[in-house]
């Protein structure tokens, strides 16, 4: 008995020794992907890519959901982890570019090393399929302008990219509506479907899975492919007025990033694995079924793609402040 | 919805990892159940940090199986040592121990395992048939209903938990307070987050490991007898126990029904259901059956009820995301870490996970029957384990598991801190379960309350405008009023007794 206990205790104690101290090559243990939102379709998309990358690397890659503070919490947690390549950050545009623009975060996109662009998914404004109060988006906006503060809408969490883009669109029509935040998109979609909310943001994945539940009023992208993904619903390109939502800024996209002090040889291993994972046709097909399109931008296009977006987002960030001020006046 | 869930769940269930982990979970559950002072909740808590890195259905199979095995394991020490391994088995010793004294220890343990497995399967049928229906009904629930449901869960647990109503409410409120630490979803600001690792609040696993496991080990050390080694004779039951159990099929069905029904009620739990089913079985028995003197029916009643309770308790857990007791709260914590939200959306959006959980629950009970009977000699041998070996191993598992969650030393400090909180609460006679339920239900309650008020155009009237929400408001008012009424009545009775006593 004594011998058995000694063996058990020794074995358990050995597992507690940090594996990194024994590892010579990389990676030797689990790599965590810090995901800035709650569980849902977007997390499923990240898990899909993480699994494919894990197959390339030979270690598991769990996606750790750390929602809160418009995604900045995940960034702060990831930045405080060791710069050893075992923590990857799912860098969505809102916490990466928007929150610093709004003064809610003290980093810039230059503080991270890109591995590869991950995916994009356009989104739209929609109502419940049973809601027949408005024939189109402009009619809904006219009603909203006449009844300030009456309509309720959701963008999932608050101060994220969809919130900012929708606030910009509403501001253009002088529509003041109350944003209702949700921990998980599914909860918000349930309330939208049940008529508790008047309208909300709907991503491609949700539309492709449960399209019958919604009436799409406006696709928030000028790309024809995005309107097509929403069953050729009207898009901002069809409107008579310019909402100031052109370019890459209003698109939901993300880059996978690591801490800027990460050893270059480890960054290279991760880059190669991610590139191979995003190029895998089987994985791309599965992502498409979820409503995601993998982006082919490699790490050397990071500055070129992300840099100009900051300026475009500034105007949209102002719309959030406008919404808050207008609601406080009611 | 039911057939779809089960069919889609088959893929998740029929994997070697899930089948092996579920069986291992049953074995581990029987071990922690048999050891006095541990039990199913402790088993789930100890293995939680290891489970959260597994595929969802495998992890849930492992944890649920620990609950199933642990609910039965307590009967082994109750029957052989007259010490119930868990409070769930307290009623089993009424007839289990006398059976052992008459030389029928093997039959008593065999009947306990068979009745547990069959009762558990009955609870599984209740779960499978009712959870999807309840989830479908709840799919129309909005923030007001969820806020009121969370309140019902919290009040029920506080009212029914051990100790006084006031103490239950106080630890529940402490749980709610702890749940506020981190990021406020509505203002996107930080609350009580003094350290970057607190931006998401404390890790739920570090909290439950500290509050339950660390404080329990401290209590074990304080109780002494660290080197005591009970003398137990080897016992080897056979599969004829199943036939012995089936001879009491009416009792089995009745007790399982009581267990499943009590399990589905928030706060009631297994211990009350075992005593209730024992009382009913005894009242309906013939005098010659000799309840209290070694009646097989007594063991059948208590053991079938306590395992059926597990299935019943999972109905509100899976269908509504509202935990009925502490173990369910920990299972909800595990589900959230594994990336899925229990509630109607689980059945609508991830039927394969819901179906997989149904199947692992059923399989864990089948596994309990086989593994339990075949491996009884091992579980009996485990009873001879000295506390001086057990306590350090448990504490080591707590530390390794909690650290492994996020490779965070901060989590270890959180675990130790909550260990101290647990010790203090136990010393003051405060129940621990409401605290964990408060931590789990806190965000659900706060977010839905604030969301309801944002959605409402007429303030608090939104809670009465919606029929289901209004019914829940009334239920909550009744619960509080009845709790106050019974507390006053109890105090009056105590005062009257004191006045009547000679000194």
Decide if A68 and B345 are in contact by the 8 Å CB cutoff. no
Residues A216, A162, single domain; the answer is yes
Q: How many angstroms separate the CA of residue A71 from the nearest CA in chain B?
A: 9
Measured between CB atoms, which of B199, B336, B455 is closest to A77? B199
The answer to whether residue A15 sits within a structural domain is no
pLDDT (average), residues A154-174: 88
**pLDDT value at residue B502:** 59
| Average pLDDT of chain A, as a whole number | 83
pLDDT (average), residues A56-84: 85
| pLDDT tens per residue, range B458-482 | 889 999 999 999 999 999 999 888 8
Residues A189, A324, single domain; the answer is yes
The answer to whether residue A266 sits within a structural domain is yes
Instruction: List the domain range (segments joined by +) for residue A230.
Output: 123-249+315-329
B365: left (phi over 0), alpha (psi -120 to 50) or beta: alpha
Q: Is it the case that residue B118 has pLDDT exceeding 90?
A: yes
Q: Which range is least confidently modeled, A36-50, B110-124, B280-294?
A: A36-50
What the block records as the tokens of A200 is 């909300």
**pLDDT value at residue B224:** 83
The answer to whether residue A49 sits within a structural domain is yes
Handedness of CA B322, B328, B330, B331 (dihedral sign): negative
Residues A213, A137, single domain; the answer is yes
pLDDT (average), residues A246-271: 83
Give yes or no for a contact between A141 and A176, defined as CB atoms under 8 angstroms apart. Answer: no
Q: Crossing angle, helix B56-81 and helix B105-138, to 10 degrees?
A: 140
| pLDDT tens per residue, range B154-165 | 887 777 665 577
- Confidence category of residue B495, pLDDT binned at 50, 70, 90: confident
In percent, the amount of chain A with pLDDT more than 90 equals: 35
Q: Is it the case that residue A3 has pLDDT exceeding 60?
A: no
The answer to whether residue B481 sits within a structural domain is yes
- Confidence category of residue B350, pLDDT binned at 50, 70, 90: confident
**pLDDT value at residue A330:** 83
- Confidence category of residue B268, pLDDT binned at 50, 70, 90: low
**pLDDT value at residue A248:** 60
**pLDDT value at residue B390:** 87
- Confidence category of residue B457, pLDDT binned at 50, 70, 90: confident
DSSP for B449-500, written as a single string: HHHHHHH-SSGGGHHHHSHHHHHHHHHHHHHHHHHHHHHHHHHHHHHHHHHH
Q: What total of structural domains would you count in chain A?
A: 2
Q: Is it the case that residue B304 has pLDDT exceeding 60?
A: yes
Decide if B186 and A158 are in contact by the 8 Å CB cutoff. yes
Q: Is it the case that residue A22 has pLDDT exceeding 70?
A: no
**pLDDT value at residue A173:** 92
| Residues B416, B121: Cα–Cα separation, whole Å | 38
Measured between CB atoms, which of A12, A66, A197 is closest to B200? A66
H helical segments located in B265-338: 269-283, 296-320, 326-338
| pLDDT tens per residue, range B412-426 | 999 999 999 999 999
- Confidence category of residue B269, pLDDT binned at 50, 70, 90: low
Cβ contacts of residue B180 below 8 Å, gap of 6+? B191, B192, B442, B446
Give yes or no for a contact between A97 and A36, defined as CB atoms under 8 angstroms apart. Answer: no
Q: Is it the case that residue B347 has pLDDT exceeding 90?
A: no
| pLDDT tens per residue, range B134-145 | 998 988 899 999
**pLDDT value at residue B160:** 66
Q: What total of structural domains would you count in chain B?
A: 1
Q: Which residues of B fall below an 8 Å CB-CB distance to A?
A: 53, 139-140, 142-143, 182-183, 185-186, 188-190, 196-197, 199-200, 336, 339-341, 344-345, 349, 389, 392-393, 396-397, 399-400, 403, 406-407, 443, 447, 451, 454-455, 457
pTM of the model: 0.80
**pLDDT value at residue A247:** 62
φ, ψ of residue B225 to 5 degrees: the values are 55, 40
Nearest chain A residue to B349 by CA distance is A186
Residues A324, A216, single domain; the answer is yes
The answer to whether residue A243 sits within a structural domain is yes
Q: Is it the case that residue B47 has pLDDT exceeding 70?
A: yes
**Which tops the pLDDT comparison, B12 or B37?**
B12
Nearest chain B residue to A8 by CA distance is B393
Residues A200, A278, single domain; the answer is no
Residues A298, A320, single domain; the answer is no
The answer to whether residue A211 sits within a structural domain is yes
| Average pLDDT of chain B, as a whole number | 89
Q: Is it the case that residue B313 has pLDDT exceeding 80?
A: yes
pLDDT (average), residues B347-369: 93
The answer to whether residue A196 sits within a structural domain is yes
Residues A179, A226, single domain; the answer is yes
- Confidence category of residue A4, pLDDT binned at 50, 70, 90: very low
**Which tops the pLDDT comparison, B326 or B132?**
B132
CATH of the domain at A210: 3.40.190.10
**From the candidates B55, B59, B199, which should be mutated to test the interface with A, based on the most A CB atoms within 10 A?**
B199
**pLDDT value at residue B161:** 64
Residues A105, A149, single domain; the answer is no
In percent, the amount of chain B with pLDDT more than 70 equals: 98
Decide if B200 and A191 are in contact by the 8 Å CB cutoff. no
The answer to whether residue A101 sits within a structural domain is yes
What the block records as the tokens of B354 is 């819901």
The answer to whether residue B501 sits within a structural domain is no
Q: With contacts defined as CB-CB under 8 Å, which chain A residues touch B339?
A: 39, 43, 47, 63, 65
**pLDDT value at residue B163:** 58
Q: With contacts defined as CB-CB under 8 Å, which chain A residues touch B340?
A: 39
**pLDDT value at residue A304:** 82
Decide if B345 and A104 are in contact by the 8 Å CB cutoff. no
Cβ contacts of residue B238 below 8 Å, gap of 6+? B106, B110, B373
Q: What ipTM describes this predicted complex?
A: 0.78
Residues A170, A238, single domain; the answer is yes
Measured between CB atoms, which of B200, B340, B344 is closest to A68? B200
Q: Is it the case that residue A21 has pLDDT exceeding 60?
A: no
**pLDDT value at residue A45:** 84
**pLDDT value at residue B503:** 56
pLDDT (average), residues B369-397: 91
Instruction: List the domain range (segments joined by +) for residue B88.
Output: 2-493
CATH of the domain at A115: 3.40.190.150
Nearest to B371 by CA among B30, B75, B55, B94: B30
| Residues A193, A201: Cα–Cα separation, whole Å | 12
Q: Is it the case that residue A258 has pLDDT exceeding 50?
A: yes
Q: With contacts defined as CB-CB under 8 Å, which chain B residues touch A184?
A: 341, 345
In percent, the amount of chain B with pLDDT more than 90 equals: 49
**pLDDT value at residue B1:** 64
| Residues B409, A82: Cα–Cα separation, whole Å | 13
Cβ contacts of residue A132 below 8 Å, gap of 6+? none
Residues A193, A321, single domain; the answer is yes
The answer to whether residue B342 sits within a structural domain is yes
DSSP for B360-418, written as a single string: HHHHHHHHHHHHHHHTHHHHHHHTT--HHHHHHHHHHHHHHHHHHHHT-HHHHHHHHHH
The answer to whether residue B502 sits within a structural domain is no
The answer to whether residue B183 sits within a structural domain is yes
| pLDDT tens per residue, range B321-338 | 888 778 888 898 888 888
| Residues B432, B426: Cα–Cα separation, whole Å | 8
Residues A137, A211, single domain; the answer is yes
- Confidence category of residue A125, pLDDT binned at 50, 70, 90: very high
Residues A140, A244, single domain; the answer is yes
The answer to whether residue A108 sits within a structural domain is yes
Handedness of CA A216, A37, A75, B183 (dihedral sign): positive
| pLDDT tens per residue, range A5-18 | 444 444 444 444 44
- Confidence category of residue B257, pLDDT binned at 50, 70, 90: very high
The answer to whether residue B356 sits within a structural domain is yes
């Amino acid at each position: 008995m004594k011998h058995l206990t000694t063996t058990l205790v020794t074995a358990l104690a050995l597992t507690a020794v940090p594996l990194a101290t024994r590892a010579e090559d990389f990676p030797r243990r689990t790599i965590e992907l810090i995901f800035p939102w709650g569980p849902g379709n977007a997390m499923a998309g990240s898990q899909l890519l993480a699994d494919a990358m894990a197959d390339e690397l030979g270690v598991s890659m769990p996606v750790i959901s750390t929602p809160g503070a418009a995604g900045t919490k995940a960034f702060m947690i990831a930045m405080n982890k060791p710069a050893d390549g075992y923590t990857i950050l799912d860098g969505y545009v809102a916490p990466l570019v928007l929150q610093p623009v709004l003064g809610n975060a003290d980093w810039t996109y230059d503080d991270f090393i890109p591995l590869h662009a991950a995916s994009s998914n356009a989104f739209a404004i929609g109502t419940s399929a049973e809601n027949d109060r408005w024939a189109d988006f402009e009619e809904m906006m006219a009603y909203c302008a006449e009844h300030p503060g009456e309509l309720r809408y959701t963008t999932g969490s608050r101060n994220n990219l969809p919130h900012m883009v929708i606030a910009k669109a509403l501001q253009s029509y002088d529509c003041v509506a109350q944003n209702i935040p949700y921990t998980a998109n599914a909860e918000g979609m349930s309330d939208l479907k049940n008529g508790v909310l008047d309208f909300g943001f709907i991503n491609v994945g949700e539309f492709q899975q449960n399209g019958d539940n919604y009436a799409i009023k406006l696709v928030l992208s000028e790309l024809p492919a995005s309107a097509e993904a929403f069953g050729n619903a009207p898009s901002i390109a069809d409107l008579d007025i310019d909402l100031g939502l052109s370019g890459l800024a209003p698109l939901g996209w993300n880059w996978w990033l690591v801490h800027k002090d990460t050893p270059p040889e480890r960054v290279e291993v991760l880059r190669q694995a991610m590139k191979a994972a995003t190029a895998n046709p089987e994985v791309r097909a599965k992502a498409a079924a979820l409503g995601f399109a993998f982006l082919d931008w490699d790490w050397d296009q990071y500055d070129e793609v992300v840099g100009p977006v900051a300026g475009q987002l500034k105007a949209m960030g102002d719309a959030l402040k406008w919404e808050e001020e207008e609601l406080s006046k009611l | 919805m039911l057939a779809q869930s089960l069919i889609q769940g088959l893929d998740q269930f029929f994997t070697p990892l899930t089948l092996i982990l579920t069986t291992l979970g049953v074995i581990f559950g029987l071990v922690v159940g048999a050891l006095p002072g541990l039990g199913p909740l402790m088993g789930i808590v100890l293995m939680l940090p290891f489970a959260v890195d597994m595929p969802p259905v495998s992890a849930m199979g492992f944890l649920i199986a620990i609950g199933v095995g642990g609910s039965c394991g307590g009967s082994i020490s109750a029957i052989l040592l007259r010490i119930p391994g868990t409070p769930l088995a307290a009623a089993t010793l009424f007839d289990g121990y006398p059976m052992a004294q008459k030389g029928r220890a093997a039959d008593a343990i065999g009947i306990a395992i068979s009745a547990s497995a069959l009762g558990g399967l009955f609870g599984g049928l209740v779960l499978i048939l009712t959870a999807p229906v309840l989830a479908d009904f709840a799919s129309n629930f909005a923030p007001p209903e969820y806020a009121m449901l969370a309140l019902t869960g919290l009040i029920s647990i506080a009212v029914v938990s051990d100790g006084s109503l006031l103490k239950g409410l106080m630890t529940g409120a402490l749980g709610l307070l702890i749940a506020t630490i981190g990021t406020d979803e509505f203002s996107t600001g930080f609350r009580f987050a003094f350290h970057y690792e607190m931006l998401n609040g404390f890790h739920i696993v570090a909290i439950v490991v500290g509050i339950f496991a660390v404080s329990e080990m401290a209590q074990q050390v304080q109780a002494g007898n660290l080197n005591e080694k009970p003398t137990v004779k080897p016992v080897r039951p056979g599969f004829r126990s199943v036939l012995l159990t089936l001879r009491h099929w009416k009792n089995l069905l009745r007790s399982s029904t009581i267990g499943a029904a009590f399990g589905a009620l928030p706060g009631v739990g297994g211990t009350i259901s075992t005593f209730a089913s024992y009382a009913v079985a005894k009242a309906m028995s013939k005098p010659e059956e000799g309840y209290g003197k070694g009646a097989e029916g007594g063991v059948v009643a208590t053991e079938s009820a306590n395992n059926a309770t597990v299935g019943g308790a999972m109905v509100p857990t899976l269908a509504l995301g509202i935990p009925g007791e502490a173990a369910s709260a920990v299972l909800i914590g595990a589900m959230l870490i594994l990336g899925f939200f229990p509630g109607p959306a689980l059945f609508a959006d991830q039927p394969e996970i819901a179906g997989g959980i149904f199947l692992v629950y059923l399989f864990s009970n089948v596994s309990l029957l086989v593994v339990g009977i075949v491996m009884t000699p091992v579980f009996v041998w485990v009873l001879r384990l000295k506390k001086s070996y057990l306590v350090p191993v448990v504490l080591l598992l707590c530390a390794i598991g909690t650290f492994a969650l996020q490779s965070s030393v901060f989590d270890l400090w959180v675990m130790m801190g909550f260990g101290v909180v647990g010790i203090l609460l136990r010393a003051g006679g405060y129940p621990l379960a409401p605290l964990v339920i408060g931590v789990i239900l806190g965000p659900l309650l706060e977010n839905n309350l604030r969301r309801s008020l944002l959605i409402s155009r007429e303030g608090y009237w939104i809670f009465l405008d919606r029929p289901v929400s209004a019914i829940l408001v009334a239920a909550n008012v009744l619960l509080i009023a009845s709790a106050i009424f019974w507390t006053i009545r109890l105090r009056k009775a105590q005062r009257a007794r004191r006045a009547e006593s000679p000194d």
